[in-house]
Every structure is written in structure tokens, then in C-alpha cells.
Copies of this chain bind each other. A is one copy, B any other.
Amino acid sequence: MYPFLIFAEGLHNVRPELKILEYKDGVLLKSVGALLNLSDADGEFFPLNDGQKGMSYYSRELVTAVDITYHFGGNNPQLLSIAEKQNRVLLDDSGLSVALGIRDGRAQPFLKESINLSDGSDGNQGGVSVLRYGDEDLTLVFKYAAQGLSHGHYDKLSFSLFEKGKEVLQDYGLARFVNIEQKGGGNYLKENTTWAKQTIAHNTIVQNETSHFEGRYEVGSQHHSDLYFFDAADADVQVVSATEKNAYPGTEMHRTMALIKNANFEKPFLLDIIRINSHTENQYDLPFYFMGQVMKVNFEYDSPTTLSALGENNGYEHLYLEGAGKPSSDNAKFLWMDNRKFYTLTSVTTASDELIFTRIGANDPEFNLRRDAAIMIRRMDTKDTVFVSVVEPHGSYSPVSEFAVNSNSNIASLKVAYDDEDYTAVSIEDLQGRKSMFILSIKNASASKEHRLEIGGSEYQWSGPYSYIEK
């Protein structure tokens, strides 16, 4: 942002007739708001594409951005609270404005919202959605954007999940230690290409162990994903849905992610529905890069005595296979703990699915990569399918009191209750037998469209692209 804003400020001063700050409905100053909204509860930017983890709105570039935006963008008092945290202002008119605003007690809390940001010069090349529940208690970052120039990753329909400022399911970020000379002179490491940009490094679908667009920049740059709908009007059920038709020619992917606060659950959870339709039979891999330590799973798996790479290229050569098993029921459950909190992944599985534990670090002789883990669902020889998962934060552990509270998932059963070319419905039953149903309309995202569907003898009626009913 920094060069754009400085240049704009200069133009504004010497060529006011250009009205640069009003250009495109004030896109420059608006973009600062967008940028601030792309940060976690600690002010750190989500590590999209080649973002380095830890970069935050405490940087000098963001001091400039916040001050200029405050001064020229209508004195938004919420920006003052960011400036207060930054504890610095520019030594110019804009910094003075900010300092005076803070002195006069006009600062208001910066309210981060659930937001849908469109990509591309005309805003029609996909985008990034951020769904936030509560005071950033749970934050979903969903990416369905364009390639992102040379810094783009092959990560269509990928996501990351945060609880306050902590990653629950991570985006790896980049393979670079910016300005640390001991690591490749502080430049991009070759693992940025061989690992970090590859699709398997992200929480999204990989077909046949190849990256989106075969990892070809020229091809990826011609395409983008498409928003199906974004609806954050109901704070307790926020939904974003997008499609990708070009990453794997002949295969359409449609991912819908909902942040849901059900009164019968301690914390909000994430519902993830991926519909895949293909002309051909494929292998689909869906990894979840969890942070922390495995607590328990509900399936048997084998552990190799020696660790070998999971594959030979497209990033698979950097993953060790730490374990592989088969589901023992219709739901695979995986419980882990991080940062003294518990999380459960519940996934609808078929008997032939493979459940794979991986760890980053194979073929990394210089220790350029973090040794982080994932659990992966692998579905082979499949044309059309639906992946349905719930990521459920719950409970806590204290090594001081030695109490583990609510350390088990509250989900008794997760099911695809209905699936055809028009609708996909998912039912969630909790441990007390209470059910809820999420129904997605596949072909019509109109908010006014009326739907009627019979599922298991019950009739459902609603309008709009989705319905969520607690029974």
C-alpha cells in the first residue's frame, strides 16, 4: 500500500484536479480498510500467497496508510484506535490529524467485520472472504481469488482458520526468511516453488497429486474462481460459497464454508462442504494442516517404521507419510490439542477412503521448512463426490489446574442427508440427539428464490441459497 498512498498524497497535493483519492469510488482509501480487515486478532495479516507470517499493522507502512486514510478519508474514528496501538504517527499533516484526534478522545474501537473482498482490477475475478464470529473468537479466511501475479499460490478454494490470533488450521505461508541472510540471502528459497506454492501445501482439494493449473503460472493467470454467494447477515450462520472450474480441466469444484453458532455447542464451528464433479475418475486429496498435537482418532492406522516421502513432485516430495488408515465408520474423527484448547475434525467418509497423517520436511536438507503436520482424506477412483467436514473448537486444558474441560466433540453423527444436482443437505446430530440441517441450493444463489425439498420424509421450505435449521 505504501508506494500507492505516498504517490497519491503527492498527486493530491500538486495535482488536485486529478482527484486521485476519489478515483474509482475512493478505491485507494477503501483498500486500507480492506487491508486492516485482512488481519487477525493480533493485527497480523493473514498469510495469503507469499505473505510472511508475523507482518502486521504495526509496520511502518501501515502507520503511513492509517494516517493518510484518516486524514484524507473522512476522519474515521475507528482508525484512531489502530493508530493508538501503533503508538506512532507520521511527521506531517496526516500524522498531526491522527494525534489530535487521539488527544481529543475521539478514538473508537476498530470493528472488524465479516467481509467479502473482490479480486481483479474490475473486482470481478473472484475474491477473498473473511467470516468472523464474535470478537474474532473464530475467523475463517476463504480464498477464491485470481492467481495473484508472481506471488500467487496454486490454492483455489483454500482456507485457514483462526481462534483469536492463533492459527487452528494454517496456511503455510511462504518459504522464505525475509532479510535473514543465513537463509538463502533472505530471498525466496527454492522450497517456495517446490512446496509453499503447490496446492498440497494448502487446505484444499488436490486432484491426482498435481497442483491447480499443473502449477503453470501462465495458465493460472488466465483464470479465477467465482463467488457463488456470500451471506454474513446472520451472525450465527455466516456462509460463503465459490466455484472453481479451471484448475483441473474437466473437473468442477464447489466449496461452501459456514461458520455456525449452534446454541447446543459450546463454541462456533466450521462446516465445510466440497462438491466435485468430473468427467473422469480421479484421486482427490483434502489435507487439513492442524496446529498442535494429535490427541485421538476413531480409526485404525498403520505407522511406518521409517518415514518416506508421500510422493515425488508437486510438493508431495516434501511430505513424510506418518501414518495411513481406513475409516472405521461413516465418520472419521480426529481430535487434537493446541494452545491448551481442543479441536475435533469430523468428516463424512466412505469405506474406501484413506486417512493419512503427513508431516512437512522430506527432501528439505537445509531445514528450510517447518515440521508441521496435517491429516488428509484421500478418495480414489472417483468422478463425482462430496467432502463434508466439521471443524469444531471445544473445551480447554490447564496445566496449572490440571483440568481438561469439554475435551470431546459434541457431534454424534455427521451425514450427507441429501445430494443431487440441485441440492446438498448435511445433517449434524449432537451427543444429546439434537439435529440440525444445512441445505445448500447448488444452481441458484438468488436470495429471493423459493425452495422446497423433501428429505427423509420431512419437507423443507426456504428462500435463498441455503437453509440452516436447528430442530
Contacts and interface: CB of A to CB of B under 8 A. Distances in A.
A337 B179 CA distance: 14
Given A293-B367, A306-B306, A371-B359, A397 B59 contact: no
Nearest to A62: B400
A30 to B, nearest CB: 24
Given A181-B407, A182-B335, A371-B371, A399 B295 contact: no
Contacts of A183: 295-296
Interface stretch (A50-58, A123-131, A257-265, A386-394): A50-58
A316 to B, nearest CB: 14
Interface in A376-427: 397-404, 407-408
A179 B404 contact: yes
Contacts of A181: 404, 407
A401 B402 CA distance: 39
A286 to B, nearest CB: 20
| Chain A interface mostly | loop
Interface of A: 52-56, 58-60, 177-183, 186, 293-296, 301, 303, 305-309, 320, 322-323, 335, 337, 340, 357, 359, 361-367, 370-371, 373, 397-404, 407-408
Given A52-B399, A54-B340, A306-B308, 20 more contacts: A52-B402, A54-B400, A55-B399, A55-B402, A56-B400, A59-B400, A59-B401, A177-B337, A180-B337, A183-B295, A293-B367, A293-B370, A301-B365, A303-B364, A305-B363, A306-B307, A306-B309, A307-B307, A323-B365, A359-B371
